[in-house]
C-alpha cells in the first residue's frame, strides 16, 4: 500500500533493537483517514473470505480492526491482556512473549465472543517474530473457529514471523513489508 509506505518513510523512526516507531499515525496519535484506507484495503483483500469476526489484541490493534470491521460489517473482538483474577474457564487464553516489552503476558478472550461458528480475520498493527499472532491463532484453535487469514499493517519481514506462518499455509497479508531497516542511517527498505 503506497500511501502507507510513504508515511512510514516520512514519519517512521527506526530505533535500536529493530523497533520502528510510528507514533504520529498509528501507535499514539491515530490518523483516522489513513486507518480508514487501511481498513478498506483489508476488506478488498479478504472480502470473499466469509469473515464473521475480526480478532485483534489490545491496544494498538483495536483502531485498525475497528476501521476494517466497518467495511466487513462484522464485530471486533480484542484479546485482553489478563489480570490474574480474570483467569478462569470463562476465557480462552494464550501466553505471549512481547517483543517490544521483552516480557510474557496472557491474552484472553471470553468464550462468549468466539465460537466454532466463526470465520475470523486476525488483524494487528505489527508482525515481527509472530508471537502475538500465534497466541491469537492458539485461541482460535481452542474455540474451533476457522481462520480466514491474517492482516498486518506493518510486517518486519527480516524477523521471520510472517514467512513462517506463510510456510504453514496461513494467508498473511501485510500492507507494508519491511525487508531491512537501519537505526544508524534511518534507512528503511520495503519488499516489493
Under rule CB under 6 A, residue 129 binds ligand 5GP? yes
CA distance 6 to 159: 22
131 vs 163 by CB, closer to ligand 5GP? 131
What part of residues 19-38 is at the interface with ligand 5GP (CB under 6 A)?
A: 19-20, 27
Which residues touch 8 (CB under 8 Å, ≥6 apart)?
20, 22, 154, 176, 178, 188
β-pair type (172-181, 188-190)? antiparallel
Residue among 122, 117, 113 at smallest CA distance from 42: 122
Residues β-bridged to residue 123: 151
Under rule CB under 6 A, residue 52 binds ligand 5GP? no
What part of residues 54-93 is at the interface with ligand 5GP (CB under 6 A)?
A: 60
Q: Treating both helix axes as pointing N-terminal to C-terminal, what angle do 2-11 and 32-46 enclose, rounded to 10 degrees?
A: 140
Residue among 90, 94, 82 at smallest CA distance from 112: 90
How many binding residues for ligand 5GP (CB under 6 A)?
18
H helices of the chain, in order, are: 2-11, 32-46, 60-72, 131-143, 161-167
Going residue by residue from 163 to 192, which x/- string records binding to ligand 5GP, judged by CB under 6 A? ------------------------------
19 vs 30 by CB, closer to ligand 5GP? 19
What part of residues 93-112 is at the interface with ligand 5GP (CB under 6 A)?
A: 99-100
Q: Which member of 161, 165, 174, 175 binds ligand 5GP (CB under 6 A)?
A: 161
Identify which range of 30-38, 82-90, 124-132, 167-175 contacts ligand 5GP by CB under 6 A: 124-132
> Closest distance between ligand 5GP and the C-beta of residue 24, in Å?
12
Q: Which member of 128, 136, 139, 148 binds ligand 5GP (CB under 6 A)?
A: 128
- Cβ(173)–Cβ(145) below 8 Å: no
Under rule CB under 6 A, residue 138 binds ligand 5GP? no
CA distance 113 to 186: 42
Binding residues for ligand 5GP, rule: CB under 6 A, are 19-20, 27, 60, 99-100, 124-133, 156, 161
Amino acid at each position: 500500500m503506497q500511501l502507507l509506505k510513504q508515511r512510514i518513510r516520512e514519519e517512521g523512526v527506526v530505533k535500536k533493537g529493530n523497533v520502528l516507531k510510528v507514533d504520529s499515525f498509528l501507535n499514539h496519535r491515530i490518523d483516522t483517514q489513513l486507518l480508514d484506507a487501511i481498513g478498506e484495503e483489508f476488506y478488498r483483500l479478504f472480502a470473499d473470505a466469509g469473515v464473521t469476526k475480526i480478532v485483534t489484541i489490545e491496544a494498538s490493534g483495536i483502531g485498525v480492526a475497528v476501521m476494517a470491521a466497518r467495511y466487513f460489517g462484522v464485530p471486533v473482538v480484542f484479546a485482553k491482556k489478563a489480570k490474574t483474577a480474570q483467569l478462569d474457564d470463562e476465557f480462552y487464553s494464550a501466553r505471549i512473549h512481547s517483543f517490544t516489552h521483552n516480557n510474557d503476558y496472557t491474552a484472553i478472550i471470553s468464550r462468549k465472543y468466539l465460537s466454532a461458528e466463526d470465520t475470523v480475520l486476525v488483524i494487528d498493527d505489527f508482525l515481527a517474530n509472530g508471537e502475538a499472532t500465534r497466541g491469537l491463532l492458539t485461541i482460535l484453535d481452542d474455540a474451533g473457529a476457522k481462520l480466514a487469514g491474517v492482516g498486518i499493517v506493518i510486517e518486519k519481514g527480516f524477523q521471520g514471523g510472517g514467512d513462517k506462518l506463510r510456510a504453514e499455509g496461513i494467508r498473511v497479508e501485510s500492507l507494508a513489508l519491511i525487508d531491512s531497516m537501519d537505526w544508524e542511517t534511518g534507512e528503511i527498505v520495503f519488499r516489493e
